Amino acid sequence: MLDASIKALPVIHEIIAEAAAAPGAAAAATVDVRVGPYWTVVRSSVRAGLASTMAHADEHAGAPIRQPGSLHRLPPVALADLLRSTSPPEAAIGLAAVNALLDPVAAGAVDGNARELLCQRAQGRLLAVVGHFPFTELLRSACRELWVFERAGRLRPGDLEESSMDELLPHAEVVAVTGSAVLNHTVEAILSRMRPDAFKVMLGPSTPLASCLLERGFDVLCGTVVEDAEAVVRAVSEGAVTDQIPGVRRVCLWRLQV
């Protein structure tokens, strides 16, 4: 097993443990590992999973990925441990492996569109978005007020600094969090700042459709199921961005099925 740079975050450990316990995970083999400029994909003998590469998220001492060229020889349960890494590209491999092991359909995931869901739930309400989504401006026209929190170095005009979440996030009625919060290990801190009665969504292809996140307080997880692994691997390898990745299906896993 790889010696990942471990950060003691219980929710990360829970996600990895749930993936390792998924049906077929223990016997699964790794078929391919691809790290594209925007997306990372791990293809296993049971499923394939995606995660944002986050190659430029933070400076990291040393090589961003250890053992390149030999990762495909490791089983996906070992790759999943890399989600603990403090190197974002390495953690992306771990999250992609987690997503390749989890079986969201068996867990009860249904077809769903995060954009439509958020536009509906945010009507007339104070919406907080942690990280940018392709449809952020559409959300602005749907809600009463929009706060967009972003990390230093990635701020756009009108964004709020991540440090202001301590004061402001507890006031939001609807909170949307990118799945990258799992990658950068901020998900636990974000959850602790949300008001109990807020409607909480995690979304994006990186989102692990893991029941432990629902138990932690999210109302719905909006992620991606890979249906054509070969097409996804090819597109990711050739630099596809989110809307250019074929062979995927958008699904939602609800805490309480509706």
**Contact by Cβ (8 Å): 28, 102:** no
Percent of the chain surpassing pLDDT 90: 81
Cα–Cα distance measured from residue 89 to residue 83, given in angstroms and rounded to the nearest whole number: 10
Residue 71 has pLDDT above 50, yes or no: yes
Average pLDDT score over residue span 98-122: 95
pLDDT tens-digit series, residues 137-161 = 889 889 999 999 988 777 888 889 9
Task: Select the CATH number that applies to the domain covering 110-225+248-254 from these four: 3.90.15.10, 1.10.10.60, 3.40.50.11590, 3.30.470.20.
Answer: 3.40.50.11590
Domain ranges, ordered by start, for the chain: 10-106, 110-225+248-254
Q: How far is CA 226 from the centre of its chain?
A: 14
Task: Select the CATH number that applies to the domain covering 10-106 from these four: 3.90.870.10, 3.30.390.100, 3.30.1360.40, 1.10.3720.10.
Answer: 3.30.390.100
Please state the φ and ψ torsions of residue 192, each to the nearest 5 degrees. Answer: -70, -20
